[in-house]
């Protein structure tokens, strides 16, 4: 059995994202034209950075929707993408099991399974059975003169959620902040958390004014919003800590 390796790559980002967000914010408070503020070369980047940071901290986030990031992700399981696509303010293009033959598919191995030899052996045995079943069905379809999509779209029903898939994801900056607040949390499922962290690392590189302090909700709020029995303990509960009063 072949284990897939996760890879997250940035395909595209809005050109001059800081300038676009700065102009959008300033348009809300200025009589000037946003196009002039966007193209103005006399606005220091450190001023724009601090201005945007202040606006984001204040809870004014709608101007962030004007900037988009598009990622290509591979080595992610179908189980994880089912969580990913629940974030509805986004665009997705995912590899189709109807059209792509999965006879050579790879699988994702959860760390909790990989760390125990006996559990991993049984896990791999079961996945091999599923893969063998898929290949067998494809061959049986061929004997009946059925090939291509007509075969793959039906044989796919025996494949498990551990099958590796590839997906393109586009989100605006506001939705990315929301995504990171939920999926970078220690309570998030390990795979979607790993994907989110890799996406966040890329976002921090390209737009630190917004993403430098981004992450799970506890980092943003200054306290843990989870029920007491579910908190990881990284941050105190609200009654114990000092929440960021600017964020409601």
- Among 73-87, 94-108, 231-245, the least confident range: 231-245
Please check whether residues 17 and 78 belong to one and the same domain: yes
Please check whether residues 154 and 141 belong to one and the same domain: yes
Please check whether residues 88 and 129 belong to one and the same domain: no
In-domain check, residue 245: yes
Q: Is the pLDDT of residue 239 over 80?
A: no
Please check whether residues 30 and 84 belong to one and the same domain: yes
Q: Is the pLDDT of residue 248 over 80?
A: no
| CA gap 216, 231 in Å, rounded | 12
Q: Per-residue confidence at 247, pLDDT binned at 50, 70, 90? A: very low
Catalytic residue among 78, 174, 183, 217: 183
Please check whether residues 113 and 145 belong to one and the same domain: yes
| CA gap 161, 142 in Å, rounded | 25
In-domain check, residue 48: yes
209-213 average pLDDT score: 94
Q: What is the pLDDT of residue 30?
A: 87
Q: What is the pLDDT of residue 245?
A: 43
Single residue among 143, 162, 181 that ends a domain in this structure? 162
Containing structural domain, residue 55: 7-92+165-215
User: Residue 151 in contact with residue 70, Cβ under 8 Å?
Assistant: no
Active site (annotated) includes residue 88: no
Please check whether residues 57 and 128 belong to one and the same domain: no
Q: What is the pLDDT of residue 229?
A: 82
In-domain check, residue 98: no
In-domain check, residue 237: yes
Q: Per-residue confidence at 15, pLDDT binned at 50, 70, 90? A: very high
Instruction: Compute how many other C-beta atoms are within 10 angstroms of the C-beta atom of residue 84.
Output: 20
Q: What is the pLDDT of residue 212?
A: 93
Where is pLDDT greater, at 173 or 222?
A: 173
Instruction: Compute how many other C-beta atoms are within 10 angstroms of the C-beta atom of residue 26.
Output: 21
Q: Is the pLDDT of residue 208 over 80?
A: yes
Q: What is the pLDDT of residue 241?
A: 45
Q: What is the pLDDT of residue 32?
A: 86
In-domain check, residue 2: no
Q: Is the pLDDT of residue 18 over 50?
A: yes
Tens-digit pLDDT profile for residues 105-145 = 999 999 999 999 999 999 999 999 999 999 999 999 999 99
In-domain check, residue 233: yes
Please check whether residues 75 and 185 belong to one and the same domain: yes
| CA gap 50, 80 in Å, rounded | 36
Q: What is the pLDDT of residue 3?
A: 85
Please check whether residues 223 and 209 belong to one and the same domain: no
Averaged confidence pLDDT in the chain: 91
Tens-digit pLDDT profile for residues 30-54 = 888 888 887 655 566 788 899 999 9
Token pair 């796919």 in the structure block, residue: 156
In-domain check, residue 100: no
| CATH number of the CATH domain containing 69 | 3.30.1360.170
Please check whether residues 182 and 239 belong to one and the same domain: no
Highest average pLDDT, of 19-23, 72-76, 185-189, comes from: 72-76
| CA gap 108, 194 in Å, rounded | 13
Counting the structural domains of the chain, the total is: 3
Please check whether residues 52 and 144 belong to one and the same domain: no
In-domain check, residue 85: yes
Please check whether residues 185 and 227 belong to one and the same domain: no
Please check whether residues 73 and 194 belong to one and the same domain: yes
Tens-digit pLDDT profile for residues 144-171 = 999 999 999 999 999 999 999 999 999 9
């Amino acid at each position: 059995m072949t284990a897939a390796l996760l890879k997250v790559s940035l395909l595209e980002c809005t050109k001059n994202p800081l300038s676009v967000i700065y102009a959008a914010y300033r348009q809300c408070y200025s009589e000037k034209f946003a196009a002039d503020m966007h193209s103005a070369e006399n606005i220091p980047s450190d001023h724009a950075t601090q201005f945007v940071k202040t606006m984001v901290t204040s809870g004014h986030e709608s101007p962030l929707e004007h900037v988009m990031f598009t990622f290509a992700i591979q080595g992610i399981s179908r189980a994880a993408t089912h969580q990913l696509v629940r974030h509805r303010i986004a665009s997705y293009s995912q590899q189709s099991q109807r059209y792509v033959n999965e006879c050579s598919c790879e699988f994702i191995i959860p760390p909790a399974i990989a760390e125990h030899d006996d559990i991993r052996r049984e896990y791999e045995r079961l996945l091999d059975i599923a893969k063998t079943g898929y290949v067998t069905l494809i061959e049986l379809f061929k004997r009946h003169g059925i090939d291509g999509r007509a075969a793959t779209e039906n044989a796919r029903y025996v494949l498990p959620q551990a099958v590796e898939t590839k997906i393109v994801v586009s989100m605006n900056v506001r939705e990315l902040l929301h995504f990171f607040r939920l999926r970078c949390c220690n309570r998030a499922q390990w795979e979607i958390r790993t994907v989110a962290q890799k996406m966040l690392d890329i976002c921090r590189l390209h737009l630190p004014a917004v993403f430098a302090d981004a992450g799970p909700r506890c980092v943003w709020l200054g306290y843990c919003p989870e029920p007491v029995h579910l908190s990881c303990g990284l941050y105190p509960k609200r009654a114990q800590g000092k929440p960021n009063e600017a964020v409601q």
